[in-house]
Structure 1
């Protein structure tokens, strides 16, 4: 069932992109990894486990941490995460960075664990990946917020490798007991 769902997501995304973007010569001539560390699945895992991790004392610079994964020059970027209290949609990587840099810098810590996936379908010029992760967030006031999320990313093959052009993350809060069991604090 998952491959059909992901295939439909990829087909719908392809249909939603403007024809000019679909005919872009740069992306048509680019070749992107189907496996290994530069493939969509491994990049998706890096996106959550490296990009969004924050340890005590770290500052969070979106462009430094995640910039290499997003398509900064595309006019076809659409990014959404229902964890944003205002439910905004980012229409560029720059806009997305501006939405998340402040709130993430206010956290003491953000620790993650991959629960399922990534599941990937590679369409050549576009690829789609999904995974489920858990996040243990510690606020500046010491409150622990646990959530589980399912995220879907659409990657465009560019001359610089795979870049995110679509993101959809759906989050549900979980109890402190559940998040401590899934993503334990390193100090016990």
Structure 2
């Protein structure tokens, strides 16, 4: 075999493995598709009302994170250390330190998730939202955040593999006028 034939054979093998179908546990659309998961992650995982049970990262957000992995990249500029966290438990520690300081946190999605299929086992979504954070003491704060999530498909469905959240202050009108 000449070098061109070997190169072509290698290219074909790579393209076949890259085109492997996504398991049934990782649907492209619908309730367990990436867009819906991104929305749910925000609206059910992070939404907090006064009087809610104590925050529990594993219980409240465990559906979205793989707690067995040590190769994650999770960042939020709310983290006082501004650190990239490589495990879901380490990321959870950030929120155990912050969420109890809030009486409530309410979100409104200002830009629905945009989903890009990055490969058969990965999908990327981006979403923007406005939120109102009411501390236990003091006046509410208003922010707008953009979140970018790379999801990885595994036997238990889509899980967050890479996450980046950046927020900026906003005035109350931005939150009130969001849908």
Aligning the two structures, in what range does the TM-score lie when normalised by the shorter sequence?
0.7 to 0.9
Matched, 1:93 2:88: yes
For 1:165 and 1:172, the matched residues in 2 are separated by 24
* Partner residue of 1:38 out of 14, 19, 32: 32
For 1:177 and 1:162, the matched residues in 2 are separated by 35
For 1:153 and 1:71, the matched residues in 2 are separated by 14
Where does residue 169 of structure 1 map in the other structure? 165
Match runs of 1:72-87 below 5 Å:
72-87=67-82
Deviates more, 1:40-49 or 1:171-180: 171-180
Where does residue 69 of structure 1 map in the other structure? 64
Per-residue CA deviation, residues 36-88 of structure 1 (Å, 9 max, x unaligned), is 01001100000111100000011211111101110111222010011223212
- The runs of 4+ residues in structure 1 deviating greater than 3 Å are 27-31, 180-183
TM-score by length of 2: 0.82
Q: How many residues align?
A: 158
Change (3 A) 1:137 1:165: same
Change (3 A) 1:30 1:73: farther
Radius of gyration: which is bigger? 2
Contact persistence 2:22–2:120 (CA under 8 A): no
C-alpha RMSD of matched pairs (Å):
1.9
TM-score by length of 1: 0.78
Deviates more, 1:135-144 or 1:173-182: 173-182
For 1:181 and 1:137, the matched residues in 2 are separated by 16
